[in-house]
Copies of this chain bind each other. A is one copy, B any other.
Amino acid sequence: MTPEQYAFPLENYLDRSSFGRLKAFAAERTTPHLVMDLDLVEKRYRELIALLPMAKVYYAVKANPMDEIVTLLNDLGSRFDVASCPELDQLLRLGVSPDRVSYGNTIKKARDVKYFYDRGVRLFVSDSQEDLKNIATFAPGARVYFRIITEGTGSDWPLSRKFGAHAEVIFLLIKQAKELGLEPYGLSFHVGSQQRDIGQWDDALARCTYLFEAAEFSGINLKMINLGGGFPAHYLEATQPLEIYANEIKRFLADNFSDEAPEIYIEPGRSLTADAGVLVAEVVLVTKKARNSLYRWVFLDVGMFSGLIETMGEAIKYPIFFDKEGPAEEIILAGPTCDSMDILYEDYKYKMPSTVVAGDRVYFFSAGAYTQSYSSVYFNGFPPLAAYVLPRAGR
């Protein structure tokens, strides 16, 4: 019996010629680093607006704040969901108009509200009375939308509990916003990043319908629903194609708002950038801990603290490609630091061709979101992950 040979469905993630181009680019640079393909970001953006033409896109900058990506999306007509003052500064520096910015973080200081307002931002999210009062004081007359709490069930990276409030609290906030001279504009929710259960959108939309009606009963016409993000990227676990999500959302809106459909905002981050990035690393060491160990340990020069924080709890499973042939071997994958937390995958066993040796390169696909900007400053002395943009094809 011949042993199983290593096989990786490269074409599922990148066509051969694109990979060849990326590999050649990466070969001239030391590892670890991230390479972003702007053509793929553009492709994803165009697919999204084609499927949800009624939606205003607010790109969640935190997913990948590289200047080139912000500029590209700004040129393509995207708006921006911003989490902090430094992000706003960056966008303004890149020429983004403040009327295309939503301050989408419910957790903000009074002076942060003022900072955004002074720079022309007029759209704010809120989920608490304290924050709403700050907005009324420091951003008078601004549009406010309210975040409903969701549980994030079914997502790989849930966004439950911390954000949003229950419907009863939201209803009070809507009325209070009007009293405070603000414009209660709509509702938002977030089903969790990398959400695979489409029913989660239905549940959240149903709560929005109820609150729209309750507000109308109090003489307040809400005008917008912000669906948040959660559209999936192409990691190892199977997901529905974007089309399925889009159709479900359209069907739901048609069923519930037949007369006057609300404005729809979406906040894609991961779904626009993840698949456009490849993280290139190197094998540092392949070892056995005991003579009879079942699995070898494969240590890479990238780890949980240099960009792969979402491997925490093995939450996000990147497609990992070893560019060699040989019999397939199940391995334990770990990062380079002196920290035992810095183990990438131990329960889930990745396969590697057993011919791999120290110095070989490793490619993490779909690594364009929540990686570079999340790497640590100087963890164990290792520098933050480098990030490059691949020269655009045919330009």
A350-388 CB mask vs B (1 if < 8 Å, else 0) is: 000000001100000000000011111111111110000
Asked whether A130 lies within 8 Å of B282 as measured between CB atoms, the reply is no
B104:A338 contact, CB within 8 angstroms? yes
Q: A154 in the interface, Cβ–Cβ < 8 Å?
A: no
Among A109, A309, A338, the most chain B Cβ lie within 10 Å of the Cβ of A338
Residues in B neighbouring A128, C-beta threshold 8 A: 285, 287-288
Known: A376-B374, A381-B90. A359 touches B110 (CB 8 A): yes
> Given B105, B110, B131, B378, which contacts A338 in the complex, CB threshold below 8 Å?
B105
Q: Does A161 contact B (CB under 8 A)?
A: yes
Contact between A301 and B166, CB atoms less than 8 A apart: no
Indicate how many identical chains form the complex: 2
Residues of B within 8 A of A105 (CB): 336-338, 380
State whether the Cβ of A159 lies closer than 8 Å to any Cβ in chain B: yes
Other-chain residue from B165, B286, B336, B341 in contact with A130 (beta carbon distance below 8 A): B286
Interface locus among A81-89, A138-146, A210-218, A317-325 = A81-89
- Contact among B87, B309, B377 for A381, CB-based, below 8 A: B87
Are B382 and A86 in contact, with the CB atoms below 8 A?
yes
> What's the Cα separation between A110 and B162 when bound, in Å?
45
Knowing A110-B359, A358-B110 touch, does A161 contact B86 (C-beta < 8 A)?
no
Q: Is the CB of A127 within 8 A of B377?
A: no
Residue in A61, A130, A376 with the greatest tally of chain B CB atoms within 10 Å = A376
Q: Does A312 contact B (CB under 8 A)?
A: yes
State the Cβ distance, A210 to closest chain B Cβ, in Å: 16
- B131 pairs with A287, CB closer than 8 A: yes
- Asked whether A290 is an interface residue with its Cβ less than 8 Å from the other chain, the reply is yes
A372 to B299, CA, bound (A): 25
A56 → B minimal CB distance (Å): 19
A220 within 8 A of B: no
Distance from A21 Cβ to chain B, minimum over Cβ atoms (Å): 26
A276 at the interface (CB under 8 A from B): no
Q: Flag if A289 contacts B374 (CB, 8 Å).
A: no
**Does A55 lie at the interface of the complex (its beta carbon under 8 Å from any beta carbon of B)?**
no
Does A40 reach chain B (CB closer than 8 Å)? no
Closest residue on chain B to residue A167 by CB atoms: B290
Measured CA separation A385–B312 after assembly (Å): 21
Question: Which residues from chain B contact A157 at a C-beta distance below 8 Å?
Answer: 340-341
Residue of B nearest to A152 (CB): B340
Cβ contacts under 8 Å, A372 to chain B: 377
Q: How far is the CA of A232 from the CA of B342 in the complex (A)?
A: 21
The listed residue with most B CB atoms (<10 A of its CB), out of A168, A339, A383, is A339
Determine the residue in chain B with the shortest Cβ distance to A165: B289
10 tightest CB-CB pairs across the interface, nearest first? A87-B381, A128-B287, A84-B381, A166-B290, A373-B378, A83-B380, A86-B381, A107-B299, A159-B340, A377-B384
